[in-house]
């Protein structure tokens, strides 16, 4: 199994091109199941999760083509891909595929809307919490679906004539449930309202793609989405937005190590809460034409308290990276995780660097230390794994990060992007 080796202590200086957002690309790929016409996606990141979802969609009968670079196209631009579900040949998403990636469960919405039947395995993914699918199923029931659980599979059937519009009030903000119900509602008869909908930029990206395909959706960017069902959706060409989590990750790496890094393609409005916190911690954050510039001032890092919240709050997917940053801040910081109940598995690994972190329920307390020391550490999930890389970039001596397959799920060319800015980092073949 591959590992990453780092030798810490180098400032990061240079430019990093931000890739397309994994959390937008996956639901956009799934949306191809809603139409028998081609859906073209641009700026698709080259990630293990994208490849896994390709296998799942191909199992349903989606033809997938990857196109080459175009003349004049800049380095670092994502893939251009066409997804064509002319015929859905199988409405079952089997355990051996769905168990490897939670987002693949979202196929249940388009399959049910278009084919009126779906049999989808209960999902897998990172072990960061239970993340039940109750909200998904509640929403689909409100659209008229009958739901049964049979042998670890969700079996969903639409009424005769297809799904019908309904009023869905999500008990808790859920990105996955919002994606799934919104996609299903586009082909339902009548009007669907989703209250307490997620507002993440990835939701907006998918909603705007569905509108380009012919869907009728209003309230995009608010907590209330209204979808007027249509009989048929068509094809479209859609660009995947830049990855705000990758943006925040590299911003924190720059703040941790010092230096001056320009994050090309980054959109500050997609992670303003995190950028505000970075500024409070002592980093210089400036929106410039075409991206964001991060510098560390000469006064060191200051401890900042953070509470994790759905967008537009501080994102849970940046919690581990921020914790790594706070390990070398001056003072004591507190982080309250409110989204997932088991997202502190990286604490023990960060403490192996000499960090001082304790956890009491939802709250992690981080007492800053002047130096970290390189260590052998092990990744526990996607975002936790990159927090160990951030710590290793600043730690004295050598760090080895094991089980980095998690990183390949969500970060494109991580080593190349960091080494291009002066980091001493390499992948060691397992």
The single-letter DSSP state of residue 318 is: G
Q: What is the pLDDT of residue 173?
A: 94
The annotation status of 317 as a binding-site residue, yes or no, is yes
Active-site residue list: 126
The annotation status of 51 as a binding-site residue, yes or no, is no
> Which of 271-275's residues contact partners 24+ apart within 8 Å by CB, and which partners?
271/244, 271/247, 271/315, 271/318, 272/312, 273/309, 273/312, 273/313, 273/314, 273/315, 274/248, 274/314, 274/315, 274/318, 274/322, 275/248, 275/251
pLDDT in tens, 206-254: 999 999 999 999 999 999 999 999 999 999 999 999 999 999 999 999 9
The annotation status of 56 as a binding-site residue, yes or no, is no
Residue 125 has pLDDT above 80, yes or no: no
pLDDT in tens, 158-170: 999 999 999 999 9
* Start-end of CATH 3.65.10.10 domains in the chain: 3-19+242-428, 22-239
pLDDT in tens, 360-392: 999 999 999 999 999 999 988 877 889 999 999
> What is the rounded distance in angstroms from the CA atom of residue 106 to the CA atom of residue 267?
26
pLDDT in tens, 11-29: 999 999 999 999 999 999 9
Please say whether the beta carbons of 324 and 350 come within 8 A: yes
Residue 343 has pLDDT above 80, yes or no: no
* DSSP reduced 3-state for 49: helix
> What is the rounded distance in angstroms from the CA atom of residue 84 to the CA atom of residue 81?
10
Superfamily of the domain at 3-19+242-428:
Enolpyruvate transferase domain (3.65.10.10)
The single-letter DSSP state of residue 172 is: S
Superfamily of the domain at 22-239:
Enolpyruvate transferase domain (3.65.10.10)
The annotation status of 23 as a binding-site residue, yes or no, is yes
User: How are strands ordered across the β-sheet holding 216-218?
Assistant: 167-169, 191-195, 224-228, 216-218
Closest CA to 124 of 173, 56, 58, 64: 56
Residue 237 tokens, joined:
């060409």
What is the pLDDT averaged over residues 345-350?
93
What is the pLDDT averaged over residues 323-331?
97
* DSSP reduced 3-state for 59: helix
Instruction: Calculate what percentage of the chain has a pLDDT beyond 70.
Output: 96
Which phi and psi (to 5°) does residue 277 adopt?
-65, -40
Confidence bin at 102 (pLDDT 50/70/90): confident
Residue 109 tokens, joined:
């919405």
pLDDT in tens, 288-299: 999 999 998 777
Residue 164 tokens, joined:
């019908």
* DSSP reduced 3-state for 397: coil
* DSSP reduced 3-state for 339: coil
Q: What is the pLDDT of residue 129?
A: 39
> What is the rounded distance in angstroms from the CA atom of residue 403 to the CA atom of residue 427?
11
The annotation status of 175 as a binding-site residue, yes or no, is yes
- For residue 147, list its beta bridge partners: 156
The annotation status of 121 as a binding-site residue, yes or no, is no
Please say whether the beta carbons of 302 and 329 come within 8 A: yes
Residues in the chain, overall count = 430
Q: What is the pLDDT of residue 406?
A: 85
Q: What is the pLDDT of residue 126?
A: 38
Closest CA to 107 of 33, 174, 177, 8: 33
The b/e string for 190-208 (b: 16+ C-beta within 10 A; e otherwise) is eebbbebbbbbbbbbbbbb
């Amino acid at each position: 199994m591959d590992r990453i080796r780092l030798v810490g202590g180098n400032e990061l200086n240079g430019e990093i091109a931000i890739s397309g957002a994994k959390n937008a690309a996956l639901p956009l790929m799934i949306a191809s199941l809603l139409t028998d016409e081609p859906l073209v996606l641009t700026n698709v990141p080259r990630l293990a999760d994208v490849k896994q979802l390709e296998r799942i969609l191909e199992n349903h009968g989606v033809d997938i083509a990857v196109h080459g670079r175009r003349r004049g196209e800049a380095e670092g631009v994502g893939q251009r891909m066409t997804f064509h579900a002319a015929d859905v040949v199988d409405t079952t998403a089997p355990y051996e595929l769905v168990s490897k990636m939670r987002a693949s469960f979202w196929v249940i919405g388009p399959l049910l809307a278009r084919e009126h039947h779906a049999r989808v395995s209960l999902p897998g993914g990172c072990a960061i919490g239970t993340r039940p699918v109750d909200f998904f199923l509640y929403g689909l029931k409100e659209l008229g679906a009958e739901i049964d659980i049979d042998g670890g599979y969700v079996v969903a059937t639409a009424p005769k004539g297809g799904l019908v519009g309904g009023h869905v009030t999500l008990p808790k903000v859920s990105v996955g449930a919002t994606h799934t119900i919104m996609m299903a509602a586009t082909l339902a008869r009548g009007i669907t309202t989703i209250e307490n909908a997620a507002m993440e930029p990835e939701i907006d990206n998918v909603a705007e793609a569905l509108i380009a395909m012919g869907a009728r959706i209003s309230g995009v960017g608010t907590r209330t989405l209204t979808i007027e069902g249509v009989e048929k959706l068509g094809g479209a060409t859609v660009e995947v937005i830049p990855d705000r989590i990758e943006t925040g990750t590299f911003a924190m790496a720059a703040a941790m190590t010092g230096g001056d890094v320009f994050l090309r393609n980054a959109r500050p409005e997609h992670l303003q809460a995190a950028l505000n916190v970075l500024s409070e911690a002592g980093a210089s954050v400036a929106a410039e034409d075409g991206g964001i510039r991060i510098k560390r001032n000469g006064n060191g890092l200051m401890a900042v308290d953070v509470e994790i919240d759905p967008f537009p709050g501080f994102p849970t997917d940046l919690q581990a990276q921020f914790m790594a940053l706070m390990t070398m801040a001056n003072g004591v910081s507190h982080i309250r995780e409110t989204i997932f109940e088991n997202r502190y598995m990286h604490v023990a690994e960060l403490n192996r660097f000499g960090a001082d972190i304790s956890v009491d329920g939802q709250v992690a307390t981080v007492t800053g230390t002047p130096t970290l020391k390189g260590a052998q550490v092990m990744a526990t999930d996607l975002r936790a794994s990159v927090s160990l890389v951030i710590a290793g970039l600043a730690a004295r001596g050598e760090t080895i990060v094991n089980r980095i397959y998690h990183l390949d799920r969500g970060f494109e060319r991580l080593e190349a992007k960091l080494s291009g800015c002066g980091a001493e980092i390499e992948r060691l073949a397992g």
